[in-house]
Amino acid sequence: MAKLSIEHVSKDFELRKGLKHTTIHAVQDANFILESGKTVALVGESGSGKSTIARMITCLESPTSGQIKLDGRLVPHKGRELYRYRHNVQMVFQDPFASLNPYHNIYHHLVRPMKVNGMASSEEEYVQKVADLLKRVDLYPAEEYMWRRPHELSGGQRQRVAIARALAPGPKILIADEPVSMLDVSLRVGVLSMLAKIQHEDHLAMLYITHDLATARHFSDKIMVMQKGRIVEAGPSDQVILHPQNSYTKILLNAAPDPERYFERQEEAKRQETERQGGIS
């Protein structure tokens, strides 16, 4: 069982232009817990501080104040303890086109974190482990995909590879930062369903960052709503969607597509795309 605690975490950015000095309060007094087997959605508009929280959890940024703890221990900032922490906390980035090095094949991207962690004793065993990972993210035939380069894959396939890479070290906690926002609408439900299946099978603690309340409700146990750096509402997914208490949450719900019909539209878009491709061939 893994437990990641965010305790009174804030992040300020100092901006200077000539003699002018400005402080941006990107995150203010964030408090929440991620636990094994549970998915928490962090919802808010662009610039609300969602990705800054993700970057602090993954040690890409340091908090200005507050504490982040994994299983009761403070997150380290250097040395072998930081290495062990990053082994357990992995991130899926938003942009599948920028997160993979175009010069390396898929095998290289997936085997590298395995070799760093000494997860096999022979090259043959590593090849099998990479193949197993690709099958988990529904890329078949795995033995063919592993030798391709990123430019030979579609956006959806690249994001599946990025998810496989995050899973390669065997993490306890997965941070998914807008993992489907750059994908075609017909692909989003498939990728999110796959993520939910893996989260359940591996009993992962997952933070799902999104601006989409419909998918947040469908794929998460709890929803947190963020506005201007603050978490303004949090609770069980159905409670937040059906009985919002904060005025900003109500504004987001009124502006969002109807969550009840969202997945009907997604399936219809997928069906039309399949028919279109069939007509082309």
Q: What is the pLDDT of residues 46-101, one digit of tens each?
A: 999 999 999 999 999 999 999 999 999 999 888 889 989 999 999 999 988 888 99
| Residue 12 covered by a domain | no
Banded pLDDT at 270 (limits 50, 70, 90) = low
| Residue 65 covered by a domain | no
| Residue 222 covered by a domain | yes
If residue 256 lies in a helix (H) or strand (E), which one and from where to where? none
Domain that holds residue 126: 34-59+76-254+262-280
Banded pLDDT at 261 (limits 50, 70, 90) = low
Angle between helices 185-202 and 155-167 (to 10 degrees): 10
Return the number of other C-beta atoms located less than 10 Å from residue 160's C-beta.
Answer: 25
pLDDT of 143 higher than 80: yes
**Domains contained in the chain, number:** 1
Q: Over the stretch 207-234, which tens digit does the pLDDT of each residue have? A: 999 999 989 999 999 999 999 999 999 9
- CATH code: domain of residue 238: 3.40.50.300
| Residue 87 covered by a domain | yes
| Residue 85 covered by a domain | yes
| Residue 67 covered by a domain | no
| Residue 27 covered by a domain | no
| Residue 95 covered by a domain | yes
pTM confidence score: 0.89
CA atoms within 13 A on the CB side of 128: 7
Return d(Cα 173, Cα 184) in angstroms, integer: 26
Report the pLDDT value the prediction gives residue 200, as an integer from 0 to 100.
Answer: 96
276 SS3 class: helix
